A and B are shown apart, each in its own frame.
Chain A
Amino acid sequence: MLVNAYAKSSPVSRLAVLLFAAFFAGINAWDWLVAPHVLSLKAAQTYAAQTDSFCKKGRIMNATAQLKKIEAQKLSVEVKALEKRFFSLETAQIFFTELESIANQNGVTITSLKLIEDAQDPKQLTGNGVYCHQASLSVIGKFVPITNLLKQLSDYDQKLDISAVSLLTKKDRIECSMILSIYVLEQGGKK
């Protein structure tokens, strides 16, 4: 049937069929052969542009991170220097252990030393792991040794606050009571 139709067709229609076939083949050839490569090329170009952008951003981020690292290192040195002014858990224990000998060195006797109840659950002063521990201290001795003791305590290397000092004369000696507040820096902000 097709052979008959082809034989009876005019040259114009044959040419038209051939042209259509050529056009169709051209479109398909483009779709099958060229279009995938064009798409791949476009994708590769987009990827290249993204890579370029990524590299630039990466370099900026890297530089920023390095700057932050240097800043953190500097801050760390400063913080460490400051941390020495605060008690750690160990130095706080040592302080309370050595407190009697400090008192004895100054010629006074500790009659009472107890943590204030609130200090059992020490208040965190900041969110950065600085806790305030308070203790009530009572000593008995002469006036000048008590003054020296107060002086030594207030000049302590770590931060130590003395408050609510009261004196009471008992015969030839003086009883002195006070509240000691020490600031303990717990490592890593943990209690």
Chain B
Amino acid sequence: MNNKLALGINIGSDQITLAMLKKTRKGITLVKAASSPTSESVISAGNIKNPAQLARMIKDLCSKHKLNTSNVILSLVARPSLLRVTDMPRDVGGNVKQFVKDELKHYAPFAGKTVGHDFAILKNAKANRLLLGAADEDKIAGIVKACNRIGVIIRGIEPASLAAVRAIYAKHIAKKFDSNILVAHVQDNSLTCFVFRDGLLDFIKATTISSPVNPDTIQAFTDEIVSVKQYYQLELNQNAKNWEFFITDINSAQNSDAVIKSLQAHLPQNRVYPCLPQNVQADTSMICSNMSADPAAAGLAMRLFDLGPAELKLNLLPASTDDAHNLQKFGLVMANVAAAAFLAVLFAVPVLKSKLQIVQDATAKQLKASDLPPMEKLLTTQNQHTSRAKYLKDQLTVLTSLSMAQLEIDYAQILREVQHRIPRNVQITKMTTQPENFTMTLSGLAATYEEVNMFTKLMARSPVARSASLIKTEVDPTGTGLLSYNMLINLAPMENDPNAR
């Protein structure tokens, strides 16, 4: 919905007039105005005979002039209808709604009908007063439903006369405390007079008359307006007050001129001013760019922008149609949300697919680039190499320790030492070694004890022996005359030189 545009549609028995307003930074601008004639088959005797046809006419007119139909307000076309100022008793208190309902119950034309109504409390220091509007709800609902069905979204319904007053309020009514102002709105067969006293709405009088095309009806208009002035002069003793008269008429300028002339003739001392479509720029606060527009249609559109005084605002749009519209709006919003969600789901699938493809490609690329054998094979290879290295390390340790182990007793060296140190007359008959004790026993024969003793001493000095001792000497029992000896040598272990071998 474009809230910056508002379309006011004033439906008359002769023609439909449109005014589209736009909210800009400079103010409210009249964007477009249009009108189209109606026929009796559509509107007759102030009632809509064929709502669907009327709605179609409105739609066609809007389409023809390319007007946005999402923010529309219609004039009230229903008879009987009620628009009046009512005094409110002091004991009503805050229960104004119930008071209004009770008031409408006593209004005979609405007997047995569903009444659509709205009210606005008037600011009056002397008494609590209400502006009250009401109409047969079924008649209003018909056109609203027909319009909503074809896409003309109705936001409000208001009497055209009230809208016309709103349109000229800023320029002609507001802040005029020195005179009484009477605004007469002429539309179809009705004349509605609004009296503003001390700048406040004081009185409304609606009269049904015949078509204002002949001098008789013009005279009737004039009499009605003059009678209102006389009522104030006589009943309320307001002779001294100045009066200004504003006539808003959607009919031809020729008719307006006739009414004005008639009024000026009867009210020569008062100002009588016609508010015509061509004068809309002078009569309203809108930016009009020399365009012509029906003041009532413009006033209706202004209602959607909340312009004009608060006490001149009524909305007779039936609550049921409003609810239906809200429901429809909610349904539309939910449908849009559902559609958006469904679209999101639909779009999510290719997005997820492409993301999946990217991840899969990256993984495949990584696997290809790594060029690694399967994990089992890697593990097996690693274990094989590790166990092989461990085995070889152990083997190396064992073999090194074994190869480093030197002969503890060097027998060749011992024999060489014995050979070098044995005296001439000493003989060895037996040599035994006891490796576990690191000892060696030499047995033999010698000529003299001194030589045996010397041999013992020489062996004791040998590097292969730690000590040498003679453990036994005796005369050889075989009768050779030689000396038999036994020598015990404690052997010295070899120097542990790894490079010895």
A residues apposed to B, CB below 8 Å = 11-12, 15, 18-19, 22, 25-26, 29-30, 33-34, 37-38, 40-41, 44-45, 47-48, 51-52, 54-55, 57-59, 61-62, 64-65, 68-69, 71-72, 75-76, 78-79, 82-83, 85-86, 125-128, 130, 143-144, 146-148, 150-151, 154-155, 159, 161-169, 178, 183, 185
Within 8 Å CB of B253, what residues of A? none
Q: Can you report 21 A-B residue pairs in the complex whose CB atoms are below 8 A from each other?
A: A12-B327, A26-B338, A29-B345, A30-B345, A34-B348, A37-B348, A38-B352, A41-B352, A48-B359, A48-B363, A59-B370, A65-B378, A68-B389, A71-B385, A75-B396, A86-B402, A154-B407, A161-B407, A164-B433, A166-B432, A167-B430
Q: Does B372 contact A (CB under 8 A)?
A: yes
Say whether B327 contacts A11, CB under 8 Å.
Answer: yes
Say whether A183 contacts B402, CB under 8 Å.
Answer: yes
Q: In the complex, identify which listed stretch (B73-81, B165-173, B302-310, B409-417) lies at the interface while the others stay far away.
A: B409-417
Give the shortest distance, in Å, between A134 (CB) and chain B (any CB): 13
Say whether A33 contacts B349, CB under 8 Å.
Answer: yes
Q: Does B386 contact A (CB under 8 A)?
A: yes
Give the shortest distance, in Å, between A59 (CB) and chain B (any CB): 7
Question: Closest B-chain residue to A129, C-beta based?
Answer: B395
Within 8 Å CB of B341, what residues of A? 26
Give the shortest distance, in Å, between B376 (CB) and chain A (any CB): 11
With contacts A22-B334, A44-B363 taken as known, whether A72 is within 8 angstroms of B388 at the C-beta atoms is yes
Say whether A154 contacts B352, CB under 8 Å.
Answer: no
Say whether A41 contacts B359, CB under 8 Å.
Answer: yes
Say whether B399 contacts A86, CB under 8 Å.
Answer: yes
Say whether A18 contacts B433, CB under 8 Å.
Answer: no
Say whether B432 contacts A128, CB under 8 Å.
Answer: no
Say whether B366 contacts A62, CB under 8 Å.
Answer: no
| A169–B277 CA distance with the chains assembled, in angstroms | 164
CB neighbors of A among B328-364 (8 A): 330-331, 334-335, 338, 341-342, 345-346, 348-349, 352-353, 355-356, 359-360, 362-363
CB neighbors of A among B360-412 (8 A): 360, 362-363, 366-367, 370, 372, 375, 378-379, 381-382, 385-386, 388-389, 391-396, 398-400, 402-403, 407, 409-412
Within 8 Å CB of B399, what residues of A? 79, 82-83, 85-86, 128, 130, 185
Question: Closest A-chain residue to B429, C-beta based?
Answer: A169
Cβ-Cβ contact count across A and B, 8 Å cutoff:
178
Interface residues of chain B: helix, strand, loop or mixed (majority):
helix
Say whether A44 contacts B394, CB under 8 Å.
Answer: no
Give the shortest distance, in Å, between A156 (CB) and chain B (any CB): 9
- Across the interface, B430 reaches (CB within 8 A) one of A44, A127, A169, namely A169
With contacts A41-B355, A147-B415 taken as known, whether A18 is within 8 angstroms of B331 at the C-beta atoms is yes
Within 8 Å CB of A151, what residues of B? 412
Within 8 Å CB of B330, what residues of A? 15
Give the shortest distance, in Å, between B494 (CB) and chain A (any CB): 10
Interface string of B11-22 (1 = CB under 8 A from A): 000000000000
Say whether B349 contacts A128, CB under 8 Å.
Answer: no
Say whether A82 contacts B403, CB under 8 Å.
Answer: yes
| A132–B403 CA distance with the chains assembled, in angstroms | 13
Question: Closest A-chain residue to B337, C-beta based?
Answer: A22
Question: Closest B-chain residue to A152, C-beta based?
Answer: B412
Say whether B433 contacts A166, CB under 8 Å.
Answer: yes
